[in-house]
Structure 1
Amino acid sequence: MNYRFLLTRRWLSFLVLAVVVAAACAGLSKWQMDRRNQAVAEIRRVQQNYVKPPVPFEQVEQYFSVSDPEIKWTTVTLSGRYLPQDQRIVRNRPNNSAPGYEILVPFRLGTGDTVIVDRGWLPIGNLRSGYPDVVPSPPAGNVEVIIRIKPSEQALEGRTAPEGQLPSIALPVYAKQLEYPLLTGSYGLMASESPAPDVSPQQLSMPAVQEGSNLSYAMQWLTFGILAFVGFGHAARQQARIAKEEHEDQRQSGSHDPALQVRREDKARKRNTSDDEEDALLDRLGL
């Protein structure tokens, strides 16, 4: 079969389209694989760090200044006191798919450093829009808190919050609202307090240790990219087959060859002219 038609502008355009589709699918496949790799790394950190015995603050102090992803979920013991006058409520924080808030309170350690403790989650309130109904107070005086390290979040550009609230747990943004230094690399997600208060915010659930569907999505996008070339190849083969059949039909019947048709008509006209001249001659002779 002849594939010279692939060099025409029309088929080159089809090839470019197939390449673009395949490249887009490959990019989406890589994006899904990157998300899957992030999920696997997070699962590994949870499994390694979440249930380990707590370590003293002094062993991980540097990670509260500069976060390290590998330290996430490490359990740490803090000793000091809460500074409830600078407490903040973080908006739009779902827990098990339920909307609500998280409560952040600065915690002054015996070393003089101040870190942020996320005391837990509260559901949306019914008394005042945009606020929880009740915010439990932290224990007064000296407290021992067991927390799990989490890195500071990114600031949400263009997002604001009412006074006493934050749109995200962006520690540098929080630090600007305080009159004392704050360690802004990581904060602590509270696991327990001693002495325990009568009422506490709800503790956040342990992170899921399931990869999700990213791997299957990545394979699907990769398959779609391959199918773009398969479809192009199939269409080209069909076009070549059709062209071959048309060529064979023309060769067998000649009915589709314009040049051959003209030659046949010329021959027919010549035959007709010769016959007419012969008849005229016979008439003149009286035959």
Structure 2
Amino acid sequence: MATIFIPNPPHHQPSHHWALLREKHARGALMLMALIALTVFLGVWQLWRAQQKSQLLAEIAQQQALPPLAWSHGVPPAWRRVQLQGQWLNQYEIWLDHRIHEGQVGYQIVTPFRLKDGSIIMVNRGWWAAGEQKLPLPAKQAPMVQVQAWPRYLSLGSSAVDGRIFQNMDPGRFAAWAYLPLPSAYAIAMQNDTGLAAIEAERPFGVERHLAYALSWFLMAMCGWFLLRRYYLKA
């Protein structure tokens, strides 16, 4: 009887299904490793942001500790207390709507101040309760202010200006509304006029938030590494 030799018997050939499983296994491992690398990168980036924010806060504290400057020309230094020299433009005062103070809704009264060189500084004079019968008193004396960064806001649509009521402190929209030059800076008054509640000077949030974000990303990376060892790197 003749013997027939088959080079690759069917039961020795790897199944197509098993090949697909191995391919999916490899792709899953690569995707998980990419995810681990991404979360580690994001964690390191948050640590770098925390260091940058710490330096910024130190610079702000240093600026705020310096004695006030008399300021009449150009853009004042950020976060510095300055005594503005020029004149108020009360006729172009605007009210920022829906501002909360001690649980009440009202307005923040922002009045432009023109320096001697013509530069415009937007000065937030304080908070005014909604529904008050009397209007805020016009600004008179040259103000002592603390220069701030421009307030950030999210605009979901172009909201129309209602008289002097604005939804946000938008320098471009204000300049177009008042037919004035584009304001060069934004500041908060250190002394408040009668009837206006004081507005606290704003500062960037501290490094704690960045550290918390970094910890979250590193924990996600650790979870990814555990899954990689558990399901893809088994012997």
TM-score range, shorter chain: 0.7 to 0.9
Structure 2 unmatched ranges of 5 or more: 1-18
Residue 128 of structure 2: aligned partner = 122
Return the alpha-carbon distance in structure 1 between the equivalents of residues 134 and 46 of structure 2: 41
Cα distance, 1:37 vs structure 2: 4.5
Deviations, residues 44-99 of structure 1 (Å, cap 9, x unaligned): 233112232111214xx4325xxxxxx32111111233222211011244457765
Cα distance, 1:159 vs structure 2: 3.8
Return the alpha-carbon distance in structure 2 between the equivalents of residues 31 and 122 of structure 1: 41
1:50 aligns with 2:49: no
SS in 2 for 1:213: helix
1:186 aligns with 2:181: no
Cα distance, 1:175 vs structure 2: 0.8
1:25 aligns with 2:24: no
**Cα gap change, 1:91 to 1:226, in 2 (>3 Å):** same
The range that moved more, 88-97 or 225-234, is: 88-97
RMSD: 3.2
Residue 96 of structure 2: aligned partner = 90
Deviations, residues 14-48 of structure 1 (Å, cap 9, x unaligned): 21231243244245435644653464244223311
TM-score in terms of structure 2 length: 0.73
Residue 247 of structure 1: aligned partner = none
Residue 202 of structure 1: aligned partner = 197
Cα distance, 1:147 vs structure 2: 0.7
Contact 1:106 1:117 in 2 (8 A): yes
Residue 11 of structure 2: aligned partner = none
* 1:168 maps to amino acid: N
Cα distance, 1:100 vs structure 2: 4.0
Return the alpha-carbon distance in structure 2 between the equivalents of residues 144 and 103 of structure 1: 16
Question: Paired residue for 1:223, among 212, 219, 224?
Answer: 219
Larger Cα Rg: Structure 1 or Structure 2? 1
Deviations, residues 89-127 of structure 1 (Å, cap 9, x unaligned): 11244457765431111223344443221111234x2x4
Cα distance, 1:179 vs structure 2: 2.9
Percentage identity across paired residues of the two chains: 19
TM-score in terms of structure 1 length: 0.62
**Cα gap change, 1:79 to 1:185, in 2 (>3 Å):** closer
Return the alpha-carbon distance in structure 2 between the equivalents of residues 83 and 162 of structure 1: 19
**Cα gap change, 1:204 to 1:162, in 2 (>3 Å):** same
Contact 1:45 1:72 in 2 (8 A): no
Residue 108 of structure 2: aligned partner = 102
**Cα gap change, 1:98 to 1:231, in 2 (>3 Å):** farther
Residue 145 of structure 2: aligned partner = 147
Higher normalized helix content (fraction of residues): 1
1:164 aligns with 2:164: yes
Count of residues in Structure 1 that have an aligned counterpart in Structure 2: 213
SS in 1 for 2:50: helix
